[in-house]
Amino acid sequence: MTDRENILRFIGLARRARKLESGTDSVIKALSTGQAKLLIAASDISPKTLHKVTEFVTYEIPMYRFGTMDELGIATGSPPRGILAITDDGFAEGLDNKLTDYEEDID
């Protein structure tokens, strides 16, 4: 299993544990209430949508660009998703470590 697949599976695990919010409105709500611990934005999210979400960041929170909207949707068992928020400290720490260490192979 590649690092990318491992990260996507970990995102799916967070979803099954109900420790993940996906989609613009749900992520904005998680940010507004201080529940979001880590953000993941798809590499192909529109700049307008990303700006809309980041306007609600009022505290320090790790944020990563990772995967495509299709990949994040598949990982979470939903339609394509451009933005995810992890709402659990343990899952956020695990993903933070995985994403910090992740290096995408560019051919």
Q: Taking Cα atoms as reference points, which of 38, 34, 32 lies closest to residue 55?
A: 32
Let me know the angle formed at the C-alpha of 63 by 16 and 36, rounded to the nearest 5 degrees: 50
Of the chain, the end-to-end C-alpha distance in Å amounts to 19
- Return the pLDDT at 1: 80
- Return the pLDDT at 27: 97
pLDDT in tens, 20-72: 999 999 999 999 999 999 999 999 999 999 999 999 998 999 999 999 999 99
Confidence band, pLDDT 50/70/90 cuts, at residue 104: low
Confidence band, pLDDT 50/70/90 cuts, at residue 103: confident
At residue 38, the 3 state secondary structure works out as: strand
pLDDT at 11 over 70: yes
- Number of helices (H), then strands (E), belonging to the chain: the values are 5, 4
- Return the pLDDT at 81: 96
Sequence-distant (6+) residues with CB within 8 A of 86 are: 14, 19, 20, 36, 37, 38, 39, 40, 92, 95
Q: Burial level of 107, CB count in 10 A (0-12/13-18/19+)? A: exposed
